[in-house]
Structure 1
């Protein structure tokens, strides 16, 4: 599983997988949305019933091997191709300040678009995740093998943060609540933009696969054993859906 989020249109959690997009109907129950089994890599919810994605077509679907940027306006039932088909495979997609920030795995490049069609190629770096400041479009963070790095020029250049802590996944719902998950599943929070971290808890289920903050209190995570939710800022987690092995 590569990404997840809550759709404001129905309040449900949606999860992007190697086998299409699924909606969690209730604890322990999920349904694939639509008929496509596309490998949805990058995924983000940007509005009511509106998702952005990337990845690869299903084996029985035609077209180029890389989907580029695709969008659904019916909660994942159908998808339309916007740009970079055959060129980009976004493993991370973020939407903030009316702008798409995408990490293209084919070129290890942060690419940015304000219209979903034309792109500005910015820094090249090996990143597991990217996150954009809630109020400042020029501040972008990325997780790397050297620790969290920060850009103050919209992702054109990056420098190490003073924290130096190895993190894997990020979520930044408010200016004073930057969440991070390390490779072991330890959840931490930073109130100073990633300079220092305070451990909160360990997310159940082993190595994390995806992470999202709906708001300052509600967090979602996918690990090796299931999809988990916290309603108390990460202090405790409950399982929404077990993952079959």
Structure 2
């Protein structure tokens, strides 16, 4: 820990083990980021990110790196929600996630919700680089404020590229100090939970997907290439998860 906050880093590498399974030759973390291998199924390796400390707090910098090599399959979740909290430092906290999935590899990135507590200030970046034949299911869920409280400031950016070609580059800022209109009908419409799914499959395995509304507060939108984006808003975290699960089931 420094006077400006905690610096924490986690890294994982998934590699085909040559026997139809997936090995994790690198699985390491420090401070509040503790990745743990759990029981997988079939050829898939599973990792759980365990929060060993609270936060991120103001001034903290967290970074997570995951690489899935060709032929490997990795599923990553988290043991509990991440709660952004105010800290002694006046600077914003940062949480940077970088995911690289090779041609012929598969990643399911399914963390629990990120909760923006009152008084917090957090900037999240998620960057995904995919090979031509990579498969991806990525879920992001953000909750603005705990029960009965106003949200903190939360800014997030999600970028997904296939072979260097950008499929999605999207940014959202909410809470005190965010550009006006974030809570209006064109963005959150008064809801306090927002999330998205990105599903990428090889061209040969993808049926054409038409843009449509699914459930209550969610829309499916095809992206250029073999990818689909599901965007959703809901009154709370439980309803948001239900809507996103329904949308994923709808995609098959």
- TM-score where L is the length of structure 2: 0.29
Name the one with the larger helix percent: 2
Larger Rg: 1 or 2? 2
Indicate the structure whose relative CO is greater, using CA pairs within 8 Å and at least 6 residues apart. 2
- TM-score where L is the length of structure 1: 0.29
